[in-house]
Amino acid sequence: MRRATRRRFGVLLWVLGAIAAVGWSALRPAPSTQGWVGYGASVVVEVSALEEGRVESVDVGLHDSVSAGQILARMDPAPLERLREIRAAELLALAGPTPGDLQSELKAARSRSRMIQKRAELAAIDARLDQLRRLVADGAASQSEVDDANTRRNILIRDLARADSGAPDSRNLWQVVAAAKRIDDLDARIEATQLVSSLDGQVTAVFHQPGEVVRRGDPLLQVRKPATDEVIAWAQPGAVVSSGSPMTVVRSDGSELSGSVLSVGSGPTLLPSRSWRDPRREEWGIAVRVRLDEGVILPDEPVLVRL
């Protein structure tokens, strides 16, 4: 290739590079002059197993819409239910069954357990009142503390008189209480085998299927909010911004939404790599959380945020 041809070819490449650089700058305006890069806040929660065991059912599918409190999956409760039957038998053996069906007997035993605890609390309050009266006389406690203790004492006396359960058997008082507490704990664990959503959203992942065995803490599903009224933006170091500052959020279609600053980060953090103007060079900024006054945007939607 002749020298003149090579020179013209080099000039052409330089011109094309300059055009590309100008075009890139137009498409990706610098945050310092046009605004701060930001994204719609993404709220994602994982619904995890609270007990080790077998997945009994998964009641939703990928991309299904769900509401807060909706049951999404169930763990097999059978092992816990069998253990509860054993604990119930232990409670009845300690408290002494009364004539009637099993549930009536358990109700009576648990009622007795509550009365035992209230008698113990009453004794503790009586001892505390004696101490408080001495402290009030010495100026080390207030009369309101005495009044509060007396109020609680009167409530306990009324509850115990209404129950009229007679003198308890001192040989197994706290064994009965402990047995009742163990059943309460099992009831809570059995209820927790039904896994519910904590928010309104969409199922974005299903990690396990019915029949699979999982460990405690293993995620079964993932739920994401489909829209958000918050934006995370990155201000350039040195920018003056504080909580409550009014902001304007500009969407890709040019529409604008008003908002205000919720919080400001304590120092520079690394921006997401997708927002770097040069993918080979890291960019840093101070994270700013903005809440929209009205309207919502999509999670992870790219926006510009302006003062």
Task: Provide the pLDDT for residue 169.
Answer: 52
Task: Provide the pLDDT for residue 30.
Answer: 40
More confident residue, 132 or 206: 206
CATH of 25-43+227-306, one of 3.40.50.300, 3.40.50.150, 3.30.300.20, 2.40.30.170: 2.40.30.170
Which tokens belong to 104?
């009536």
Mean predicted lDDT score pLDDT of the chain: 82
Among the residues of 102-172, which ranges form H helices? Answer: 102-137, 143-163
More confident residue, 117 or 154: 154
Cβ partners under 8 Å of residue 12, min gap 6 = none
> For the domain bounded by 44-76+193-224, which CATH number is listed?
2.40.50.100
Task: Provide the pLDDT for residue 64.
Answer: 94
Q: Is the pLDDT of residue 168 over 90?
A: no
Percent of all residues in the chain with a pLDDT value above 70, rounded to a whole number: 80
Q: Is the pLDDT of residue 149 over 80?
A: yes
Task: Break the chain into its structural domains and give their ranges.
Answer: 25-43+227-306, 44-76+193-224, 78-191
Question: Across residues 119-139, what is the average pLDDT?
Answer: 84
Task: Provide the pLDDT for residue 96.
Answer: 64
> Could you say which DSSP state residue 236 is in?
P
Task: Provide the pLDDT for residue 10.
Answer: 54
Question: Across residues 180-198, what is the average pLDDT?
Answer: 91
Q: Is the pLDDT of residue 126 over 90?
A: no
Percent of all residues in the chain with a pLDDT value above 90, rounded to a whole number: 38
Cβ partners under 8 Å of residue 247, min gap 6 = 233, 258, 259, 260, 261, 288, 290, 305, 306, 307
Question: Across residues 8-32, what is the average pLDDT?
Answer: 48
Residues in the chain, how many? 307
| Span 27-46, pLDDT tens digits | 444 444 468 889 999 889 99
Task: Provide the pLDDT for residue 29.
Answer: 40
**H/E segment holding residue 303:** strand 302-306
**Cα–Cα distance measured from residue 39 to residue 287, given in angstroms and rounded to the nearest whole number:** 11
**Cα–Cα distance measured from residue 224 to residue 204, given in angstroms and rounded to the nearest whole number:** 6
Which tokens belong to 290?
């903005």
Task: Provide the pLDDT for residue 97.
Answer: 56
**Cα–Cα distance measured from residue 278 to residue 243, given in angstroms and rounded to the nearest whole number:** 31
User: Tokens 């969407």 label which residue?
Assistant: 251
**Cα–Cα distance measured from residue 99 to residue 112, given in angstroms and rounded to the nearest whole number:** 15
**Cα–Cα distance measured from residue 11 to residue 47, given in angstroms and rounded to the nearest whole number:** 59
| Span 223-232, pLDDT tens digits | 999 999 999 9
Q: How confident is the model at residue 24 (pLDDT cuts 50, 70, 90)?
A: very low
More confident residue, 263 or 11: 263
Q: How confident is the model at residue 81 (pLDDT cuts 50, 70, 90)?
A: very high
